[in-house]
Structure 1
Amino acid sequence: MKQIPKRAAVPTALTWDLTTIYPDDAAFQTALTTVKTQADQVAQLKGHLAKSGADLYQVTTAYLDLNRQLERLYVYASLKNDQDTGNADAQALMGQAESLVATVSAAVSWFEPEVLALDADALQQLIDAEPKLAAYQHLFDVLGKRRAHTLSATEEKLLAGASDIFAASSKTYSVLSDADLKFPVVQDEQGNDVRLSEGLYGVLLESTTPAVREQAFKALYSVYQQFRHTFASTLASEVKTHNFNAQIRHYDSARDAAMSANNVPAVVYDTLVRTVNDHLDSLHQYVNLRKEILGLPELHMYDLYTPITGEPSLRYTYEDAQQEALKALNVLGPDYVANVQKMFDGRAIDVVENQGKRTGAYSGGMYDTKPYILLNWQDSLESLFTLVHEMGHSMHSHYTRTNQPYQYGDYSIFVAEIASTTNENLLTDYLLKTQTDPKVRAYVLNHYLDGFKGTVYRQTQFAEFEDYIHQQAAGGQTLTADFMSKFYGDLNHRYYGDGVISDPQIADEWTRIPHFYYNYYVYQYATGFAAATTLSQRILSGDPAKRDAYLTYLKSGSSALPLDVMKRAGVDMTQPDYLQTAFKTFDDRLAEFSQLARDLKK
């Protein structure tokens, strides 16, 4: 039986090097002690920032430096924990980091209320009195937008001290889903016994053998359904936390609070949901085509991921994928490609799946570290797309951190997914331009359509579910497993239509989606993918000015509001135009694929 390797058995070259953050755990402990002392010192600055411009500068820089050191500690602990969530030492480090977050949050909780206690004119006078504060003008402008939603210093300190408690539901979900769930043994296409995991599940759903797909689907959900009431409890508690925080901060809703944090107006969310629902017929057309080409008497939810064109004709080792990624991203210029190569050469990527490793993939790190990437590599086209996707995040981080000071050295979550999905679009274009074999071309088109389905349609479906359960909980509805499953099942049927059997297990899909704990995050995958379609077309036009406008977006960080950053890059996300462009691309490629797939079937 094929087993997932233990962490110690993974070749060093395929693991990330965390010694560039701290040389060892002892150095982490030393830094931890230093930050605790630093937090006490910053706490003593309470009441001093309004005395003069010089005092405001001193307090602000001390506050930011404390957060900077805290971020470094947290990144080190979280990366170590994610590489093996079952490792007790890593769990201990993560626990210390999380506890320190609560300690520091309480120690600095007075800062924002004290700034916002000043009226706008008084604050501006202090800024004007100290020339060094000019570099922080935008920071204070953005902070000023929170004036109506900031509580007293005492109240803010209480909330900050309870941050660990508020995070309990999300943490419980992560430990349960990543470390404690034990999945059964299933058979792969060759009849080999394999231990099912979230990573392997995605591969088996792409199998061309219906029985393999069905077995993996039912086996996975048989485990999640054993704990559906527990997952309902954790998710309901998380939603209550979001609603509670929104209420006490005087926001109209949890959605309003979450979007205001990124300075994104509600019209962006509503336009997305409305436009996607207006184009559900395109998804239904694609679903019906899948059923026709696969020749299935019934199309099930577990049949939505296998390539319509049959056996995958493109497989990549990790080494091959690196070369393909460099070629696909070459259109972004030599400097971009050189920085991607540094990521490959510098052990910034944790590549393969091991026991206890966090599922999925992400790009992490902070201002003073390299941008790290976590993967759970499989030799598939999907893994190549994941690599390119996460590299988009990492290059966004690299360019931001090397072009902005610390106070603007991060970027809004709202714009984060745009860089990653632009890379995906560039890879799709590269493959369609370089692959002439009709079977390969059809496979790439199929992959694009599946990606669009999974990113624009699926994430908007998630967004509808997330908004619904928050609204229902705010209105007094108890979020039981049965209540959430009923709505989710109906919603899933509306999205995919009558062409697919709504298997009963899919109503419980919400139990295994970690993003529902991220507080209105998922809609940004869909808006990001749509915006990336427009941006990739601009880059591929060959106009150096349009490419440079995109690179300027990567370099902007949080030095301007996210919608302004995107307008400078060439996309106005307050209007539906960018979504219409995305759906036109989907429809055009669906038409091309429909003809090609039918020709191949003859």
Structure 2
Amino acid sequence: MKRKLVATITTATLTMSALSVPFLTLSSHVVYAAEAVKETRAPEYKTRADIPAQYKWKLEDIYADKAVWEADLKKLEQMANAFPRYQGKVGRSADELLKALNDLSNLMRLRDKVYVYASMGFDVNSSNSSLKELLDKAEKASALTAEKTSWFTPEVLSIPRDKMKTYLEDKELAVYKTFLEDLERTKPHTLTKEMEELLARLSPLGQNPESVYSLLSKDIKFPKIKDEKGKEVQLTRANFISYMENKNRDVRKAAFRAYYQTLAGYQDTFAQTLAGKVKANNAYAKARKYPSALEASLASNNVPTKVYDELIKSVNKALPLLHRYMELKKKMLGVRDVYMYDMYTPMVEANQTYIPYEEAQKRVLEGLAPMGDEYGKALAHSFKDGWIDVYSTDDKRSGAYQSGAYDTHPYVLLNYQGTNDDIFTIAHELGHAMHTYYTNKKQPYITSNYPIFTAEVASTLNEALLFDSLYTKAKTKQEKMYLLNQRLENFRTTLFRQTQFAEFEKLIHEKEQAGESLNAEALKKMYFNINKKYYGPAVADDQEIAMEWARIPHFYYNFYVYQYATSFAASAALAEQVKKEGRPAVDRIREKLLSAGNSAAPMDVLKAAGVDVSTSKPVDDAMKVFEETLNEMEKLVNQK
């Protein structure tokens, strides 16, 4: 995932999808096995001090020591406290506006640098109290910065249009033109000063449903179930997925039913909480004079609702392909009916043999070779010069992300376990890292922080290229089927599943806006029907799946998940262009996407790179790739 900075840090996506469930696991129904590599053991480190230096990122590249960081922290606080001196002056002249923007840019750059050093230090050593102290100081300084700059945007928006037009033509302000135009675009939805202050005071209430949901989810106690050995084990929110991946079908079924039946016991509370969030989104949109909450949400990235609607329409058109995939899954698993608790059971057994990190590096470099020598040299640099933190310890943050600041090189956090999935994680996060690397080289700070809408394109493009490389090198039928299974699941969990979520999210907002009740029974009916439509007749009706909406936190993120699907489709299209065009496509992607940051609207950035997401073509083309993959899998299955 691409990790945003400071106050808006998000967990956008894991290797395959933020909402997908890992599928490269063993199953009792699996009849194929990928060819093993030479077996070795994964290293186990008890403390961070045990890990060799070459496997740890170099935070000293940001600050040599704590004293230097403390000096910048003090400087940041001084700059934040001084910034209000521009209040009431930015509309007087282009020169005053330029001075304020320059100082604001420098202030935010320093804030980012101070924060990432503290947060990344804590993420790899959370038991260290002194590092927690640094993070607390950085967070306080970030809050101070937000407070001292909160007046700036409303004051810029109060500048008369005619005067702003002359400012936008000023050569000295050219570097800020995109930033100012983006602010100007929101002007019709900006309210009076008093109303803006009122909305700001009320905004915490709009976040309350998410907080209640998080606490409720944390506090729910699940029953015990019997594992594959007949031993009673405690089902929890944390271990639910591992039981869904269990080799034993009876264990999966027991975990699935126990989990969702427990959630159903709280269905009215979950429904009231989600309805509260939907009502808040709709009320906010109405207050700002947007016709819908969807349009209000997409406006932040200047994305028209047509993109959202075309995604749902195009994926719905391709649902027969998903139904066909479910029929193949049923055949390969050797079951009469596939149930939702079978959904994460791979058709091809995962290779559990440990892959050394150095071998993973080699496979990534070979897989991403089509991106050119310059790209490859930067990747090699990332592996040897302290960009990546590789191995786990008990007090290291889980998962994977890419972070850093404008004045640092990119940093990647891993928890490498030596699986094939981990290799794709490396490629994914290095896609974000290279996006950051090129953007920071080309863009000024003010246009360097690219949005999620384009961020996930760079990362999933790398995954697509890596797949092609590994599949080309696969020597046996089993290896090929393993990789094809992985790719098919990528499509299912990202392009199909995220669009399914997006369709449900749109529907519940429309129902509430029309005055209909979002009670538990209504939510369950809507979700069940959409799920049935997506998975088709090959998948048996699981009444419990009607409660899955209560397990998805992203429904509280205000029309967020559709970006996973659009990015996946865009990256599939770009990967095909790289294969067919070679260097012209690579140069275009590097210059128009990876180096663009947020210098233009994300749709315009993607269009310049070679993908027009305002049309159905990227999704339609991605579905062709899915169909080709499915054809290949069916052919191998039917081979004697």
TM-score band, normalised by shorter chain? 0.7 to 0.9
Hey, what does 1:556 align to over in structure 2? Answer: 596
What whole-Å deviation, never above 9, does each CA across 1:96-136 have from its counterpart, x for those lacking one? 6566555433432332222222233311323445x321222
Please give the TM-score of this superposition, normalised by the length of structure 1: 0.86
The Cα shift of 1:482 comes to: 4.9
What whole-Å deviation, never above 9, does each CA across 1:211-256 have from its counterpart, x for those lacking one? 4544554576577667766655654444444334323222222211
Hey, what does 1:61 align to over in structure 2? Answer: 102
Higher helix share: 1
Hey, what does 2:509 align to over in structure 1? Answer: 470
Hey, what does 2:608 align to over in structure 1? Answer: 568
The Cα shift of 1:581 comes to: 0.9
Match of residue 82, structure 2, among 41, 44, 47: 41
Hey, what does 1:151 align to over in structure 2? Answer: 191
Q: How does 1:215-230 map to 2 (within 5 A)?
A: 217=256
Amino acid across the alignment from 2:150: S
Amino acid across the alignment from 2:636: L
Structure 2 unaligned regions, length at least 5:
1-43
Hey, what does 1:414 align to over in structure 2? Answer: 453
Q: How does 1:331-410 map to 2 (within 5 A)?
A: 331-351=370-390, 360-410=399-449
| Structure 1 contact 293–598 (Cα < 8 Å) conserved | no
What whole-Å deviation, never above 9, does each CA across 1:547-581 have from its counterpart, x for those lacking one? 10011110111112222211221111111112111
Amino acid across the alignment from 2:93: S
- Greater RCO, 1 or 2 (C-alpha within 8 Å, sep 6+): 2
Question: For the structure 1 residues 278 and 92, does the alpha-carbon distance in structure 2 shift closer, same or farther, using more than 3 Å as the test?
Answer: farther
Matched, 1:105 2:153: no
What whole-Å deviation, never above 9, does each CA across 1:112-166 have from its counterpart, x for those lacking one? 222222233311323445x321222222222221111123345445555666665
Aligned-partner Cα distance in 2 for 1:461–1:331: 33
Question: For the structure 1 residues 126 and 342, does the alpha-carbon distance in structure 2 shift closer, same or farther, using more than 3 Å as the test?
Answer: same
The Cα shift of 1:536 comes to: 0.6
Matched, 1:134 2:171: no
Question: For the structure 1 residues 308 and 241, does the alpha-carbon distance in structure 2 shift closer, same or farther, using more than 3 Å as the test?
Answer: same
Amino acid across the alignment from 1:564: D
Amino acid across the alignment from 1:563: M
Aligned-partner Cα distance in 2 for 1:336–1:426: 13
Aligned-partner Cα distance in 2 for 1:279–1:595: 21
The Cα shift of 1:277 comes to: 0.6
Match of residue 273, structure 1, among 307, 312, 329: 312
Q: How does 1:236-315 map to 2 (within 5 A)?
A: 236-312=275-351
Percent identity (aligned): 39
The Cα shift of 1:478 comes to: 5.6
Question: For the structure 1 residues 335 and 139, does the alpha-carbon distance in structure 2 shift closer, same or farther, using more than 3 Å as the test?
Answer: same
| Structure 1 contact 102–162 (Cα < 8 Å) conserved | no
Amino acid across the alignment from 2:373: P
| Structure 1 contact 298–500 (Cα < 8 Å) conserved | yes
Hey, what does 2:159 align to over in structure 1? Answer: 118
| Structure 1 contact 313–439 (Cα < 8 Å) conserved | no
Amino acid across the alignment from 1:543: G
Match of residue 488, structure 1, among 513, 522, 527: 527
SS of 1:363's equivalent in the other structure is strand
The Cα shift of 1:172 comes to: 6.2
Aligned-partner Cα distance in 1 for 2:583–2:618: 21
The Cα shift of 1:340 comes to: 2.1
Aligned-partner Cα distance in 2 for 1:450–1:343: 29
SS of 1:556's equivalent in the other structure is coil
Question: For the structure 1 residues 584 and 14, does the alpha-carbon distance in structure 2 shift closer, same or farther, using more than 3 Å as the test?
Answer: same
What whole-Å deviation, never above 9, does each CA across 1:58-94 have from its counterpart, x for those lacking one? 0111222233333344445554665588988777766
| Structure 1 contact 50–126 (Cα < 8 Å) conserved | no
| Structure 2 contact 45–51 (Cα < 8 Å) conserved | no
The Cα shift of 1:261 comes to: 0.7
| Structure 1 contact 110–157 (Cα < 8 Å) conserved | no
The Cα shift of 1:485 comes to: 3.5
Aligned-partner Cα distance in 1 for 2:474–2:514: 53
SS of 2:412's equivalent in the other structure is strand
| Structure 2 contact 260–544 (Cα < 8 Å) conserved | yes
Aligned-partner Cα distance in 2 for 1:87–1:426: 39
Cα RMSD of the aligned pairs, angstroms, is 3.8
| Structure 2 contact 370–582 (Cα < 8 Å) conserved | no
| Structure 1 contact 107–157 (Cα < 8 Å) conserved | no
What is the number of equivalent residue pairs in this alignment?
A: 596
Amino acid across the alignment from 1:109: S
Hey, what does 1:499 align to over in structure 2? Answer: 538
Aligned-partner Cα distance in 1 for 2:491–2:313: 17
Amino acid across the alignment from 1:366: A
Hey, what does 1:532 align to over in structure 2? Answer: 571
Aligned-partner Cα distance in 1 for 2:199–2:244: 43
Aligned-partner Cα distance in 2 for 1:30–1:362: 28
| Structure 1 contact 493–502 (Cα < 8 Å) conserved | yes
SS of 1:571's equivalent in the other structure is coil
Hey, what does 2:482 align to over in structure 1? Answer: 443
Aligned-partner Cα distance in 1 for 2:561–2:316: 16
Question: For the structure 1 residues 519 and 12, does the alpha-carbon distance in structure 2 shift closer, same or farther, using more than 3 Å as the test?
Answer: farther
Matched, 1:432 2:434: no
Question: For the structure 1 residues 230 and 319, does the alpha-carbon distance in structure 2 shift closer, same or farther, using more than 3 Å as the test?
Answer: farther
Structure 1 unaligned regions, length at least 5:
none
SS of 2:595's equivalent in the other structure is helix
| Structure 2 contact 213–273 (Cα < 8 Å) conserved | yes
Matched, 1:579 2:619: yes
Aligned-partner Cα distance in 1 for 2:539–2:86: 62
Q: Which moved more, 1:481-490 or 1:77-86?
A: 77-86
The Cα shift of 1:312 comes to: 3.7
